[in-house]
Amino acid sequence: MSKPGLNLPTSGYAIIVDGLVKTEFATTDGVEIGAKDLKRRFPILQVEIFDAAVQAARDVNAP
């Protein structure tokens, strides 16, 4: 599911916070750690991980 109007990466991964691309990562481990830490610190935010290889985003739930 591609989100129109976002500067989504063409490779790697990105953290999307409340509908805006915030940080890009080259590895799965990096994006997972970053997204889960962000969600843990700010559980009210909507945090998603975007995977450029499959052009899809998935929600991150609080740990």
Reported as a single tens digit per residue, the pLDDT across 2-60 is: 455 578 999 999 999 999 999 999 999 999 999 999 999 999 999 999 999 999 999 99
Number of domains into which the chain is organized? 1
DSSP 16-45: EETTEEEEEESSHHHHHHHHHHHHHH-TTS
**Residue 15, SS3 per DSSP:** strand
**Is 4 part of any domain?**
no
**Is 5 part of any domain?**
no
10 φ, ψ (degrees, to nearest 5): -95, -10
| Structure confidence at residue 62 (pLDDT) | 76
Range of the domain at 49: 13-59
| Structure confidence at residue 7 (pLDDT) | 84
**Is 1 part of any domain?**
no
Query: Could you give the CA distance from residue 5 to residue 62 in angstroms, rounded to a whole number?
Result: 27
**Is 6 part of any domain?**
no
| Structure confidence at residue 1 (pLDDT) | 45
Angle formed at CA 44 by CA 41 and CA 46, multiple of 5 degrees: 100
